[in-house]
């Protein structure tokens, strides 16, 4: 069972580059990057610090705290000190609206 969470219009996301939405106790960063939309948990896997707003180089977002890097498209950690990948979330664009596709699995994982 999945549910769709409206983020904003694609045009708004293009203008703002990213948005952070909250769902249960998760913060999810939604980025327009390289002509597509990507979503990942807005929480560095090194320490629980937000990643949104961090510098972007190529496909990497850089944690402002200690410089870990993550691939925006895949969530893969590409530079320590973080060692674990980011959780990513499926997104879709329907009639110009960006939607996060969230499942019960995401909700259960967020409570741990
Ligand atoms: S909190 Fe992100 S690298 Fe340390």
CATH number (domain holding residue 10): 2.102.10.10
Pocket lining for ligand 1, CB < 6 angstroms:
44, 46-47, 49, 63, 65-68, 81-82
State pLDDT tens for residues 53-91.
999 999 999 999 999 999 999 999 999 999 999 999 999
H-assigned helices in 1-112: 10-16, 104-110
> Using CA positions, which residue lies closest to atom 4 of ligand 1?
66
Q: How far is the CA of 43 from the centre of ligand 1 (A)?
A: 9
Q: How far apart are CA 76 and CA 92, in angstroms?
A: 21
Q: What is the pLDDT of residues 27-61, one digit of tens each?
A: 999 999 999 999 999 999 999 999 999 999 999 99
Which residue minimizes the CA distance to atom 1 of ligand 1?
47
How many domains does one find in the chain? Answer: 1
Sheet containing 97-103: give its strands across. Answer: 2-9, 97-103, 91-94
Q: Which domain holds residue 45?
A: 2-110
**What is the pTM assigned to this prediction?**
0.91
């Amino acid at each position: 069972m999945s549910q769709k969470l409206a983020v904003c219009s694609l045009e708004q996301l293009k203008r703002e580059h990213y948005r952070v939405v909250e769902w249960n106790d998760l913060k999810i960063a939604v980025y327009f990057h390289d002509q597509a939309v990507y979503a990942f948990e807005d929480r560095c896997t090194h320490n629980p610090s937000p990643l949104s707003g961090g510098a972007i180089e190529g496909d990497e977002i850089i944690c402002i705290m200690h410089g870990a890097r993550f691939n925006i498209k895949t969530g893969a950690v590409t530079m320590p000190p973080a060692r674990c990948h980011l959780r990513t979330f499926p997104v879709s664009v329907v009639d110009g609206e960006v939607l996060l596709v969230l499942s019960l699995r995401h909700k259960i994982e967020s409570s741990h």
